[in-house]
Amino acid sequence: MKALVKNYIGGRWVGAQAGRTFDSRDPATGEVVGRCVDSGPEDIEEAVNAAVAAADGWRRLPAPRRGEILFRVAERLIRDKDTLARTVTREMGKVLAEGKGDVQEAIDMAYYMAAEGRRQFGLVVPSELPDKSAQCVREPVGVVGLITPWNFPIAIPAWKAFPALILGNTVVLKPSPETPVTAALFVKALEDCGAPPGVVNLVLGSRAELGEALVRHPTVALISFTGSTATGGKVAVEAASRFKRTALEMGGKNAIIVMEDADLDLAVDGIIWSAFGTTGQRCTACSRVIVHREVKERLTRMVLTRMATLSVGNGLKPGMDVGPLVSHAQLERVQQYVQVGQEESARLLTGGKALSEGEYATGHFFAPTLFDRVTPSMRIAREEIFGPVLGLIEVTDLAEAIAINNDVDYGLSTSVYTRDINRAQRAMRDIRTAVVYINAGTIGSEVHLPFGGMRRTGNGHREAGQAALETFSEWKTIYVDYSGRLQRAQIDKE
């Protein structure tokens, strides 16, 4: 019998106070990956109190010392990469190579943010008055609540926790109920590498009330949330009513634009990877191909040919390209959108159905799906599906393509395939998404650059890079007047 996966609060692995449990299951096989404690608001209270108790000591620990812990975490993640990746695949379904990529993002972020222990640069500027100095330094915000999704169960907690920790914040992590075992292994690495008790706290649970309790807690200074736009909107409202800061990373409806002068072989590579990598379960996944009419027929044939070669199956098996959807509920959601597309008169070219026979009988598998004759007003062209469903939209020029790309509620990632440098420059100027690729797919970010979205994809904050430091810190301005007399700024300048 597997050991119970517990909360981590105040430096101890503890059960949920109500004594409930829930199971995390493999979406490919239905097997139990781990039995986990099912927490309630009372466990959130305990975790926040532990984070408060640890906050002052952690804030006062020199930042280079905090960085040393994160360097050790990076080394631990490297050591355990294969084990962690297999757990990622078993809990959320992505193929093993992508599971390793998930862990690698956490490794990269650990190294990057560890270095910020010696590089949290402030400002020293001249004062406008004599015998006076002026400077700015970063201050931690306090206790930070992290609400993370299932699709990147190692990478996204790392993207949030590591910048928060290096700046001197303490954290309470509430991961998705789909991936609790992975989250526990992530926190175990922090514990083993020297994170003091209470600095990192983990609360597992299957109930919506858990996240709500974290958002509403008066002592939590900031909520960093990644998930759906609908849920993110609720977080924003709840937090605003409590004068609480939020950093929201939400949905996407990303497009690849293919012009008539594009390298079509390269474009197809990007389309297949962006649309069907992670079974389409990425906020940056491509679900729209906006293609010039002169090459649409040829591109369609090429995409169909490549889709026919995709291997769908258990992500732990060698050679798999597409794993299962994370849950039965997600499978039903994707199936409903396929039905919506057909009702809207889009033409289903391939896929469009769940795979449920033979080796697929115990999992949540869905065939990679391609729609033609999609128009910009259709729901499948405007709403996030979060599955392996792709639609083709025909255009006559770049201006029309950019207008269609921009005319959705989301603004995360866009790709443009063209050999014309002038077109590429216009696209980079006029596309209204926060991530723009030229001659590459819509997915794949690097930890030293800002990541986030415009419009309903986010609320202006960015994750990763230097931008993450802005999210998890506040500026403190410090003046030192050593003139020995009262000096009045602006007034005494005359």
Residues across the chain: 494
**CA pair distance 408, 146, nearest whole angstrom:** 28
Residues annotated as catalytic are 249, 283
Report which of 251, 327, 321, 459 is spatially closest to residue 28, judged by C-alpha positions: 327
Judge contact between 81 and 193, C-beta under 8 A: no
Tell me which amino acid residue 329 is: A
pLDDT of residue 428: 97
pLDDT, tens digit, 9 for 90 and up, residues 141-167: 999 999 999 999 999 999 999 999 999
CATH number of 7-250+458-478: 3.40.605.10
Residues in contact with 396: Cβ distance below 8 Å, sequence separation at least 6, in sequence order: 292, 293
Catalogue the E-assigned strands of 293-418.
347-350, 354-355, 365-366, 369-372, 389-395, 410-411, 413-417
pLDDT, tens digit, 9 for 90 and up, residues 60-106: 999 999 999 999 999 999 999 999 999 999 999 999 999 999 999 99
pLDDT, tens digit, 9 for 90 and up, residues 53-73: 999 999 999 999 999 999 999
Judge contact between 465 and 448, C-beta under 8 A: yes
Domain map (residue ranges) of the chain: 7-250+458-478, 254-438
**CA pair distance 142, 490, nearest whole angstrom:** 34
- Residue 1 pLDDT more than 70? no
pLDDT, tens digit, 9 for 90 and up, residues 114-134: 999 999 999 999 999 999 999
pLDDT, tens digit, 9 for 90 and up, residues 412-445: 999 999 999 999 999 999 999 999 999 999 998 8
pLDDT of residue 494: 62
Chain centre to alpha carbon of residue 218: 25
Per CATH, is 254-438 categorized as 1.10.8.60?
Answer: no
